């Protein structure tokens, strides 16, 4: 891999978009590499992912404008599909994904962050969907995920005006869960990932699936999705060990992902 790095640390793995000279901007090669890296994650061992960018200035500054500038209508739509397919794979990935946003998260950078389950950022982070200033719309899910996360009114204001916001405002409107100094960002991301990884993996995966699928249907259907995934946890080793440990007033010896 030239632009996407992968490092596994026990039950946590870190994916780093590494195109630092271009502020980690997304082009076709980066998207293809990210897709391949996700396909290669060992889900028997890895229980939580962290996604971040290389360097101290940028998480992902956006899609590569140089690559996009000469696209035809058909090519533009096809490029949007490439990004959307990868981001949707990330969003629906079986295990939780934490975005550790270390600087600029603009355009495609904001969109890939929104495809993650949890977003935390450094205090130098900047978010935005500035596409209208380039004569285009957000193309990797920004018009769909931003309203679902921060509300329709705030999303429309950000997208229509193409206005960037800083970390403190991103926290205020609920776009991120927490803000840290740059030095504290990755240690806190890893701490959160380890906390998630220590819990029963089948249960965590089922929680993610229930939330993601439930948000796309009405409440009556959503409750049925939850019931099935709730029931799916039973008869597993992890369920039996977790409940036995509670009843016996002891700590869980180990969740074995089975």
Catalytically active residues are 111, 131
3-class secondary structure, 106: strand
Tokens of 5: 């790095």
Alpha-carbon separation of residue 138 from 6, 62, 64, 76, 247 (angstroms): 27, 10, 13, 11, 51
Sheet holding 4-9, edge to edge: 4-9, 12-17, 48-53, 97-101, 118-122, 178-180
Tokens of 105: 């998260």
Select from 16, 99, 93 the least CA-distant residue to 47.
93
Question: What whole-number distance in Å separates Cα of residue 218 and Cα of residue 191?
Answer: 35
Question: What whole-number distance in Å separates Cα of residue 93 and Cα of residue 194?
Answer: 18
Q: What is the DSSP letter of 140?
A: S
Tokens of 2: 């030239």
3-class secondary structure, 234: coil
Cβ-count burial 194-225 (b if 16+ within 10 Å, e if not): eebbebbbbbbbbbbbbeebbeeeeeeebeeb
Rounded-to-10 torsion of CA 179, 184, 189, 190 = -170
């Amino acid at each position: 891999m030239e632009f996407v790095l992968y490092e596994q640390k026990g039950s946590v793995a870190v994916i780093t978009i590494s195109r630092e000279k271009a502020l980690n901007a997304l082009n076709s090669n980066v998207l293809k590499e990210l897709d391949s890296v996700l396909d290669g994650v060992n889900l028997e061992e890895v229980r939580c992912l962290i996604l971040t960018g290389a360097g101290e200035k940028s998480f992902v500054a956006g899609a590569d404008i140089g690559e996009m500038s000469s696209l035809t209508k058909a090519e533009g739509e096809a490029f949007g599909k490439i990004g959307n397919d990868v981001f949707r794979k990330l969003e629906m990935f079986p295990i939780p994904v934490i975005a550790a946003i270390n600087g600029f998260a603009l355009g495609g950078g904001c969109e890939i962050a929104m495809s993650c389950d949890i977003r935390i950022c450094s205090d130098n982070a900047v978010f935005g969907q500035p596409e209208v200033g380039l004569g285009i719309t957000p193309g990797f899910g920004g018009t769909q995920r931003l309203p679902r996360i921060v509300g329709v009114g705030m999303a429309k204001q950000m997208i229509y005006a193409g206005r960037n916001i800083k970390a403190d405002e991103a926290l205020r409107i609920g776009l991120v869960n927490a803000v840290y100094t740059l030095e504290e960002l990755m240690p806190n991301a890893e701490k959160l990932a380890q906390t998630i990884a220590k819990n029963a993996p089948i249960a965590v995966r089922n929680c993610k699936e229930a939330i993601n699928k439930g948000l796309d249907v009405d409440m009556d259907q959503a409750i049925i999705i939850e019931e099935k995934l709730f029931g799916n946890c039973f008869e597993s080793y992890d369920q039996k060990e977790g409940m036995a440990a509670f009843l016996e007033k002891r700590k869980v010896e180990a969740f074995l992902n089975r």
